[in-house]
Chain A
Amino acid sequence: MEREISDRNILDTFCEEFCAIVEKHCKYIIVSGFLAIASGRTRGTEDIDMIIERMNQEQFNKLFADLTQENFVCMQSNNPKEVFEYLNENLSVRFTRRNEELPEMEVKFAKDILDAYQLKNRVKLELTGLKVWFSNININVAFKEELLKSPKDLEDARHLRKVYAEMIDEREIKEIKKLIKEYRL
């Protein structure tokens, strides 16, 4: 699906540029709110959520250096050792473009079987017009309906169910909800 350049918005460009760098170092997925927004949900967000494969300090240093060279900056610290420690404790770290506080990419290491499943079953979604990897639709619907549950998240799930009706697999959603109860609740 070809799109005109004017179709691109600030979040799209930021996301594609960031993902292009991360892609060179590890497997990643974009999850949650931005997936819904990139799929047409009309609501705002300040951050994009990304889950990346776990890696060691040395591998992370290379990713961090690459991001820094491409003008991205970590909001918490310029020290990759310190940033790695956050990630290793399953905390999220946030990156923006240098000198710009928004938008931000919130990055976490994959932490359990659910994240591993999401990484394994990642997809590209033509309707978004973006060449980035997303967590699959059924997983996102399950998380929003079973774990997150705010009005905004339930509306996101409703939107995704309608827009991607042919991808919805109630059996997979049910299975993921079971895993959520087991590992996250």
Chain B
Amino acid sequence: MIENTRESHLEQIDRWASFVRENPKQWKKSHSKFINAIFDKHQQFKHRLLKTPRGKEKLAELYGITNKEGYEWMKE
């Protein structure tokens, strides 16, 4: 069962790669929506996290930020 799932995942990678190769002007729009959505979700999460106790410290730890001068949200 696990092997079948893996195989099907690899087939999906191949299908999408073929689509990209054969449709050089079409793949980018849906791909960009996918990429941007990941960053939108991060922004939403960040705002929620910053409202929680120790939110700032947690965010700085998550991203390994030691330069506090570079980020306004660390100063607030």
Contact = CB atoms under 8 A, between A and B. Distances in A.
Interface in B1-33: 10, 13-14, 16-18, 20-21, 24-25, 27-29, 31-33
Nearest to B28: A7
B24 A75 contact: no
Given A7-B28, A7-B29, A102 B70 contact: no
Interface of B: 10, 13-14, 16-18, 20-21, 24-25, 27-29, 31-36, 38-39, 42, 46, 59, 63-67, 69-73
Interface stretch (A16-24, A36-44, A55-63): A36-44
Contacts, number: 94
Task: Classify chain A's interface size.
Answer: 35 or more
A96 B14 CA distance: 33
B10 to A, nearest CB: 7
Contact of B10 (A44, A73, A98, A158): A158
B67 A73 contact: yes
A12 interface: yes
Interface stretch (A112-120, A137-145, A159-167): A159-167
Contacts of A104: 63
A78 B64 contact: no
Contact of A9 (B10, B24, B25, B32): B32
Contacts of B59: 101
B68 to A, nearest CB: 9
B47 to A, nearest CB: 12
A73 B71 contact: yes
A42 B34 contact: yes
27 contacts: A1-B25, A3-B25, A3-B28, A6-B32, A7-B29, A9-B32, A9-B36, A40-B28, A42-B16, A44-B38, A73-B71, A74-B67, A75-B66, A75-B67, A76-B64, A77-B67, A99-B72, A102-B42, A126-B24, A127-B24, A129-B28, A155-B10, A158-B10, A159-B13, A159-B16, A162-B17, A162-B18
Interface in A66-111: 73-78, 94, 96, 98-104
Count chain A CB atoms within 10 A of each CB in B32, B64, B70 and give the residue with the most.
B70
Contacts of B72: 99
